[in-house]
Chain A
Amino acid sequence: MNTLSIRNLHASIGDKPILRGLNLDIPQGEVHAIMGKNGSGKSTLAKVMAGHPDYTVTSGDVLLNGQSILGMEPDVRARLGLFLAFQYPMEIPGVTIANFIRAAVQARLPEGEELEATEYYAKLYAKMDELSIPRAFTSRSVNEGFSGGEKKRCEVLQMAMLQPRYAVLDETDSGLDIDALKVVSSGVNALRGPEVGMLVITHYQRLLDYIVPDKVHVMAEGEIVLSGDKDLALKLEAEGYDWVTAKN
């Protein structure tokens, strides 16, 4: 039962269908990768799972440890343990990272229970050190004026602080140079473990050299068209996507 299950998922934006019957199981403790061309629906899948209001699910289901999450508000899903690392993290003027993450941690505590501030900051600073994020960042506004690498590190920091059961990483490698990619990947790898299931969405195989997946899936036109182990990613890198779609 400890699985994030996507069952025959159909979703559209406006009248345009994007996901067309997608099936996928991510057990806790495993890292799965989804690869696919631009426009195959990868990012849509991430947003639909998180409950973005622009998308309409027309049929199918998403089950988190057996519980359907589709009717839930995005924050309720998040508190159940679903984390989405955004491809384009939002800038929120005037809201500091410290206050933002604190509000998110506080929201996970039972009603009436107050977050202990010293404990919180101790943990925050420790995680920031691991990700080589300078302390000064705590008082900066969320993502405002951050470089691409800083934004992605800040996403991983949030993931580390919120300890999700399932994490979806949407194109976390986009816009990163090789050094930033190494830092972000090692941050993600540090969070791997038997309690966490991960779905890594990427366009390039490069990221998977650093975050080695247990399984690789290829997505095309809104569904999974091929699954395999990590070698599939290498084959895709070498031969492109066309042979996959041609096969179907």
Chain B
Amino acid sequence: MNIVSQHQISSDLPAWFSEQQKQAWTEFQSVPQPTRHDELWRFSNLKILDLARWHLASAPADVDALLARSRGLSDLAAKLVFANDRLILREIKNLPEGVLLLPLEEAARDHEALFERYFMKHPTLLGSAKIAALHRAQLKTGAFLYVPAGVKVEKPIELWHWSEGDHIAIFPHTLVVCEEGSSASVIDHFFSMNNEASFVAGVNDLIVKADAHLKYIAVQNWSRETTAFHLNTTGVGKNAVATSLQLNLGGRYIRTESNSRLLEEGARSVMLSINPMDADREVDQRTFQDHLAPSATSDLLYHNALDDRSRSVFSGLIKVGTAAHETDAYQKVRNLMLSDEAEANSMPGLEILADRVRCSHGATSGELNQDELFYMMARGIPPQKAAKLIVRGFFETVLRRLEEPSLEKYFGHLLDRRLALG
């Protein structure tokens, strides 16, 4: 049975939640499929919407092997590991009191009011409302992190989502709520066990209240046969800072939709993405910097390096609403073209309805800088290695925006491995 004809509701979830899932299923069936005339699907590969190929996942076969591979940073506050939408490890090492890190079904059962207040409260605006409805309907579990006011979680929290099996679908969900003045770092890993084809409809929602700081890094390394949607909504409160980074290392078709809502004065959202693309892989990036309050800042930096026959689509909108005076909003997408067959499509957009705004966007597509290459070769570095170093440097400039040397180093190693740099 495939995911469009079979609706399966987990018995672990409370009745109120299952009721919402039934509504979501109806919604999924009634929302029309996007077409290529839809502006939010311009330049997109519509093949990714062929959903009938994918089947609901059964329990993973080799939990021990998955756990053995769920190793990230050595020094953590806590870790949850999910495989095929089942929790397989809960490891709480060092969480301050009051912090909740729970699988979604427990949160829905034991903290109903709190969870309900934040769970998927904002419509999916960037084209994949149908996928979001499917996610909501088919969801089995996920991670809920709640950091109470004033609490600072010093060490990172790791989440792992594994897929295992051929032509299976999973629906990873991450919901992070940082109350006033709190802080946390979350690293969300998305990995495939084998090189099998799979489908992912994931949602990550980040709520960052006044004066809170959240860093959220999604390390995506799905198999090279995976079609994945990662849909995000981030809400940022007064003088709060949300920094998110997507490290897209794997996957065949990856569509990311990132909606940052600057809700109150002085809010700041930093949106980063690193995309080493090769073979015939495609990345489809849709972003929205939605300025709803004055004196807020949003800053987007996406770097795509495109080799072989790979392809990128970037469509980003900065909207400065009528109330959002004194906005600072920036958006920059750079495509580094590494082959004659690669393709980059960029649609950076601005809609400015307010006053006293500093706002700019830029999109570039260019080749490796030949002078940089020559300089490196003049130092004796072979051209292939020099090119890799330049690409690595191109990504490093994004990593530095995390402003956290230990994380920068960890993700730098992942990139070194991905680019086969020693």
Binding site for B on A (CB under 8 A): 50-53, 73-75, 77-79, 83-84, 86, 89-90, 92-96, 99-101, 103-104, 106-108, 114, 141, 158, 162
Contact = CB atoms under 8 A, between A and B. Distances in A.
Contacts of B422: 106, 114
A79 B369 CA distance: 22
A104 B378 CA distance: 9
B377 A73 contact: yes
A121 to B, nearest CB: 16
Interface SS majority for chain B = helix
B371 A162 contact: no
A191 to B, nearest CB: 16
A73 B393 CA distance: 23
Contact of A158 (B371, B379, B389, B399): B379
Given A75-B383, A100-B389, A106-B422, A93 B378 contact: no
A91 B77 CA distance: 39
Contacts of B382: 75, 107
A55 B359 CA distance: 42
A109 to B, nearest CB: 11
A90 B389 CA distance: 14
Contact of A74 (B378, B392, B396): B378
Contacts, number: 90
Contacts of B88: none
Given A93-B393, A94-B393, A94-B396, A75 B372 contact: no
A162 B380 contact: yes
A86 B376 CA distance: 11
B377 A92 contact: no
Contacts of B383: 73, 75
A52 B376 CA distance: 12
20 contacts: A53-B370, A74-B374, A74-B378, A75-B377, A75-B382, A78-B378, A78-B379, A78-B381, A79-B380, A84-B378, A94-B395, A94-B397, A95-B389, A95-B392, A103-B385, A103-B386, A104-B379, A107-B385, A141-B393, A141-B397
Given A92-B372, A94-B395, A94-B400, A78 B377 contact: yes
Interface in B354-387: 369-372, 374-383, 385-386
Considering residues A50, A94, A162, which has the most beta carbons from chain B within 10 angstroms of its beta carbon?
A: A94
A51 B376 CA distance: 12
B374 A94 contact: no
